[in-house]
Each structure stands twice: as C-alpha cells, then as structure tokens.
Amino acid sequence: MVDSSPSPRRIAPRKLATLTAGAALGLAVAGAAQAAGTQGFDATGPEKFWLAVNQGGESGMAVEILTDLGLVEGHLRAGVALYQAGLADQAVGHMKHPQDEIYADLAAHLEDAGIAGFAEELTALAATVEERADAGDVEAAFAAVMTKVEEARGAAQAGAAGEAQAMLALVRTAADEYGEGVADGAVKELHEYQDAWGFVQVARAMAEHMAAESAAGEKAFGANALSALDEIAPALPGVSPEGRSLGDAGMLLVAAAKIELAAYGLK
C-alpha cells in the first residue's frame, strides 16, 4: 500500500523566554538581583514564575521533556480519534510522525535524565494502525504508550511552573499549526489542523489535572487555563472538521496569553 500521508515536518515549539516583554522584564529583574549577589533573593509574581521556568539546567530539561511528551501525545490522540472515526488513512501519518519528528530528541533527553523511553511501544502502535487492526487493539496499544508517557512525566519532576510552561508551549505550537491549517475560517491543510486539535487536547488534559490538585495555586491556574481553552472550542470542533466554520490562529494566541497570565500566580 502506498503511504499517502504528509511528509514529516519537525515541530519546534517557541522558547517562552522571548514571548512577552513581561517575561523578559521578570527575568531581567531576577537576573540582576542574582548577579549583584543578593542573598536570599525571593522573586514574586511574574519574576518568580519566569525565573522558575527559564532557569535552564535540570528544570529547563524537564520542561523540554514535558513539552515533547505533549507533542507526541497530541499526534497520537489525533491518530486514535481518526481511527475510531473510520479514517485510518489519515490516522497513519499521525502515528508515524512522533518518531519521525520528535522522538529522537526526546529519547536523548530522557536518557540524559535517566528516564525510560518508549520507542517499542510507539512502533507497536504505528504498526497496529498501518495493519488496520481492530479498534480495540489500537486503543490497547495507545494505552501502552500512554502508560510510558505518564511515567516519564512523573519522573521529569518539572513542578507546577514547569507544567504551566509546557502547556503554554503546546497551545502556542497549536496556534502555529492552526495558522498553517486554516484560512478564512476553512481547512486548507487538514493534517496541520489535526495537529493543533491534538495539542490542545493534551493542554486541556494537563489543565484538568492541575485543576484537580489540592494546592490552591495549581487549582486556580488549572481552572483559569480550562476557561481559556473553553473559549477556543468553537475553533476546534473535532478532529475531522470538514464543512464546519472555523476560527483563526489569533483565537489560540489569545488563549495562550490568558494561560500565561494565569501562570503568574503559581508558586
């Protein structure tokens, strides 16, 4: 069978240190205080958030791991949804692209962090889709991948601020994909639209997880993030939106900005 899926396109989430003037100001204030040798410096508000999520080292690596795990999951969520909808030909590309686009870099980071990878599970999932296996087999293979993904997330220990940064990166990457996939309220590149749909689904799952936390800051952030994502639901009506009126990438960027602001309250 000829593979008609789109050619792989490496997705590179933006680095959040350059996203807003507020973020740059926060880092500048924190950095200046540290450079001056201030003892016991305790940044608050935006400064504390952006210092936490942009400090590099182990924390920066954890955020990269969470972001790439989210990109992998987003592709797979789109693929499984398409397969369940009887659109196996479209599903194939989404199952193959995580390894083609993302997994090599992710695997290196996982190895550096001493976290188990899941190449075999990814390969097995792609094979079930390519072989047009029963939907139950595809769902079981997906569950096996997700078990490994969740284990890797936990082992990364990114913290609440790191989770927020990864979520924000996913929504901003979704906005980029949406801009590629949608024009004048209609689909022009279906695969890119579906990428955006999958990434937002992952961001929503992350927000739901944080909204269920007992810590007040995380709970409030999760609730605010969910509210922002609810507002863009009309722009992403489903994984297969043909014939529906859609939105534009600006809607997703507005949601990202609201998530970014909500994250300032995290400790």
What is the percent of the chain where pLDDT is above 90? 69
CA pair distance 134, 121, nearest whole angstrom = 17
Mean per-residue pLDDT for 102-116? Answer: 94
Asked which of 44-58, 84-98, 100-114, 117-131 is least confident by mean pLDDT, the reply is 44-58
**pTM for this one?**
0.81
Higher pLDDT, 251 or 43: 251
Average pLDDT value over all residues in the chain: 83
pLDDT of residue 267: 58
Q: What are phi and psi of 186, to 5 degrees?
A: -135, 155
pLDDT of residue 160: 92
DSSP state of 188: S
Mean per-residue pLDDT for 198-203? Answer: 98
CA pair distance 200, 174, nearest whole angstrom = 7
The predicted-structure confidence for 124-155, as pLDDT tens digits, reads as follows: 999 999 999 999 999 999 999 999 999 999 99
Closest CA to 17 of 37, 58, 38, 46: 46
Asked which of 52-61, 177-186, 238-247 is least confident by mean pLDDT, the reply is 52-61
The predicted-structure confidence for 152-180, as pLDDT tens digits, reads as follows: 999 999 999 999 999 999 999 999 999 99
Tally Cβ neighbours within 10 Å of residue 198: 29
The set of residues, in sequence order, having a beta carbon less than 8 Å from that of 178 and lying 6+ positions away, is: 192, 193, 196, 235, 236, 248, 249, 252
Mean per-residue pLDDT for 252-264? Answer: 95
pLDDT band at 108 (very low <50, low <70, confident <90, very high): very high
For 132-172, give the DSSP string: T--HHHHHHHHHHHHHHHHHHHHHH--HHHHHHHHHHHHHH
Is residue 84 scored above 90 in pLDDT? yes
DSSP state of 100: I
Is residue 34 scored above 50 in pLDDT? no
